[in-house]
Structure 1
Amino acid sequence: MATGSRRGANLALPEGPALGHNSAMPTIDPVLVKPFLGPLSGRFDVDSLEECDSTSSELSRRADRGAPSGTVVVADRQSAGRGRRGRNWLSSPEGSLTFSLLWRFSGPATRLTGLSLAVGVAVAQALEELGAAHVRLKWPNDVLLERAEGFAKLAGILVELSSDRRGTQAVIGIGLNLLAPAGDLLMPAAGLADDLPSLPDRHRLLAGLLGALADVLDRFDAGGFAAVQSEWQRRHAWQGRPVTILQDEAVECEGICLGVDSDGALLVETAVCIKRILSGDVSLRVR
Structure 2
Amino acid sequence: MRSHTEARRELERAIGALADSFVIDWRVECASTNSVLTDATPADDGRVHVVVAERQTAGRGRRGRQWLSWDGASLTFSTLWRFAPGAPVPAGLSLVAGIAVARALEQLGVQGVQLKWPNDVLVHGDKLAGILVELLPGRGRTPAAVIGIGINVDLPAHAEVPDQEGVTDLARALQAPPPARSLVLASVLVELQRLLETYAAAGFAALRGAWQQRNAFADLPVRICSDTDTLEGICSGVDDDGALLLRTEAGTRRVLVGDVSLRPLPGAKA
Q: 8 Å contact 2:233–2:246 — kept in the other structure?
A: yes
In 1, the alpha carbon distance for the partners of 2:190 and 2:211 equals: 18
Amino acid at match of 2:210: E
What is the Cα deviation at residue 67 of structure 1?
A: 5.3
Aligned to 2:72: 94
Aligned to 2:163: 186
Aligned to 1:119: 97
- Tell me the number of residue pairs that the alignment of Structure 1 and Structure 2 aligns: 256
1:225 aligns with 2:199: no
Q: What whole-Å deviation, never above 9, does each CA across 1:140-177 have from its counterpart, x for those lacking one?
A: 1111111xxxx111111001112232331111100000
What is the Cα deviation at residue 109 of structure 1?
A: 6.7
Q: Please list, as runs of the form range in 1=range in 2, the aligned pairs for 1:77-226 lying within 5 A after superposition.
A: 77-107=55-85, 110-146=88-124, 151-162=125-136, 163-180=138-155, 182-183=159-160, 185-187=162-164, 188-196=166-174, 197-226=176-205
In 2, the alpha carbon distance for the partners of 1:81 and 1:230 equals: 31
In 1, the alpha carbon distance for the partners of 2:70 and 2:3 equals: 11
What is the Cα deviation at residue 26 of structure 1?
A: 5.3
Q: 8 Å contact 2:70–2:155 — kept in the other structure?
A: no
Amino acid at match of 2:254: R
Given the superposition, is the C-alpha separation of residues 224 and 96 from structure 1 closer, same or farther in structure 2, using an over 3 Å criterion? same
Q: What whole-Å deviation, never above 9, does each CA across 1:14-71 have from its counterpart, x for those lacking one?
A: xxxxxxxxxx5653632221111111101001011000010010122331x5254411
Give me the identity figure in percent.
46
* DSSP-derived class of the 2:40 partner: helix
Q: CA RMSD in A?
A: 1.7
Given the superposition, is the C-alpha separation of residues 218 and 136 from structure 1 closer, same or farther in structure 2, using an over 3 Å criterion? same
Aligned to 1:43: 21
Q: 8 Å contact 1:52–1:77 — kept in the other structure?
A: yes
Aligned to 1:286: 262
* DSSP-derived class of the 1:164 partner: coil
Amino acid at match of 1:285: S
Taking structure 1 as the reference length, the TM-score comes to 0.84
In 2, the alpha carbon distance for the partners of 1:165 and 1:137 equals: 34
Amino acid at match of 2:163: L
In 2, the alpha carbon distance for the partners of 1:128 and 1:212 equals: 11
Which stretch has the larger CA shift, 206-215 or 86-95?
Answer: 86-95
Ranges in structure 2 where 5+ consecutive residues have no aligned partner? 264-270
Taking structure 2 as the reference length, the TM-score comes to 0.89
* DSSP-derived class of the 1:47 partner: strand
Which stretch has the larger CA shift, 179-188 or 71-80?
Answer: 179-188
Aligned to 2:8: 30
In 1, the alpha carbon distance for the partners of 2:160 and 2:10 equals: 33
In 1, the alpha carbon distance for the partners of 2:177 and 2:228 equals: 39
Q: 8 Å contact 1:25–1:94 — kept in the other structure?
A: no
Given the superposition, is the C-alpha separation of residues 165 and 58 from structure 1 closer, same or farther in structure 2, using an over 3 Å criterion? same
Which stretch has the larger CA shift, 136-145 or 156-165?
Answer: 156-165
Q: 8 Å contact 2:68–2:161 — kept in the other structure?
A: no
Q: 1:254 aligns with which of 208, 232, 243?
A: 232
Which stretch has the larger CA shift, 255-264 or 176-185?
Answer: 176-185
Q: 8 Å contact 1:49–1:74 — kept in the other structure?
A: yes
1:76 aligns with 2:54: yes
Q: 8 Å contact 2:154–2:178 — kept in the other structure?
A: no
Stretches (4+) displaced over 4 A: none
Ranges in structure 1 where 5+ consecutive residues have no aligned partner? 1-23
1:244 aligns with 2:244: no
Given the superposition, is the C-alpha separation of residues 184 and 202 from structure 1 closer, same or farther in structure 2, using an over 3 Å criterion? closer
